[in-house]
Amino acid sequence: MKIKFLSNPAIPQVFGIVMLALFIAQPVAAKTVKVTMTAKESTVVIDNKGTEYPAWTYDGKIPGPVVRVTEGDTVDFTLINPDTNKESHSMDFHAAVVDVLKEFSEVKPGESKHFTFVANHPGVFMYHCGAATMAQHIARGMYGIIIVDPKEGYSEAYPKPDREYVLIQSQYFPNAKDKNAMIENRGWADSLINGKIFHYDPVHDENASLTLQSKPGERVRIFFVNANINNPVAFHPIAGIWDKVYISGNPKNTLYGIQTYNVAVAEASIFDLVSPADHPTNNAIVDHAMGAALRGAITVLMNMPDADPKLGKGDNILIR
Residues 78-107 that bind Cu ion (CB under 5 A): 89
- C-beta of 42: minimal distance to Cu ion in Å? 12
- C-beta of 64: minimal distance to Cu ion in Å? 11
Nearer to Cu ion, 109 or 216 (CB): 109
- C-beta of 91: minimal distance to Cu ion in Å? 9
Nearer to Cu ion, 38 or 74 (CB): 38
C-beta nearest to Cu ion: residue: 129
DSSP symbol at 104? T
- C-beta of 40: minimal distance to Cu ion in Å? 10
Show the CA angle centred on residue 229, arms to residues 213 and 66, nearest 5°.
Answer: 40
Q: Three-class SS of residue 136?
A: helix
Interface segment toward Cu ion; rule CB under 5 A; list 94-102, 137-145, 151-159, 225-233: 137-145
- C-beta of 258: minimal distance to Cu ion in Å? 34
Show the CA angle centred on residue 201, arms to residues 285 and 149, nearest 5°.
Answer: 45
Strand partners, 124: 147
Per CB under 5 A, does 137 bind Cu ion? Answer: yes
Q: Three-class SS of residue 176?
A: coil
| Residue among 176, 220, 187, 177 at smallest CA distance from 51 | 176
Interface segment toward Cu ion; rule CB under 5 A; list 123-131, 197-205, 260-268, 285-293: 123-131
Nearer to Cu ion, 39 or 302 (CB): 39
| Residue among 148, 168, 210 at smallest CA distance from 63 | 168
> Do 231 and 279 touch, CB atoms closer than 8 A?
no
Whole-angstrom distance, CA of residue 120 vs CA of residue 218: 30
Whole-angstrom distance, CA of residue 56 vs CA of residue 61: 9
> Do 178 and 187 touch, CB atoms closer than 8 A?
yes
Nearer to Cu ion, 89 or 163 (CB): 89
Whole-angstrom distance, CA of residue 145 vs CA of residue 263: 15
Nearer to Cu ion, 158 or 172 (CB): 172
Nearer to Cu ion, 129 or 273 (CB): 129
Nearer to Cu ion, 85 or 214 (CB): 85
**Per-state percent for the chain, helix, strand, coil, to nearest 5:** 10, 40, 50
| Residue among 119, 134, 73 at smallest CA distance from 249 | 119
Per CB under 5 A, does 229 bind Cu ion? Answer: no
Per CB under 5 A, does 244 bind Cu ion? Answer: no
- C-beta of 55: minimal distance to Cu ion in Å? 10
- C-beta of 166: minimal distance to Cu ion in Å? 21
- C-beta of 221: minimal distance to Cu ion in Å? 30
CA 63 to chain centre: 10
Q: Which of 129, 147, 192, 225 binds Cu ion (CB under 5 A)?
A: 129
Nearer to Cu ion, 80 or 142 (CB): 142
- The count of chain residues that interact with Cu ion, using the rule CB under 5 A, is 5
Whole-angstrom distance, CA of residue 252 vs CA of residue 198: 33
Q: Which of 44, 46, 62, 142 binds Cu ion (CB under 5 A)?
A: 142
Nearer to Cu ion, 84 or 209 (CB): 84
Q: What DSSP element (H or E) covers 124?
A: strand 123-128
- C-beta of 38: minimal distance to Cu ion in Å? 12
Would you tell me which residues interact with Cu ion (CB under 5 A)? 89, 129, 131, 137, 142
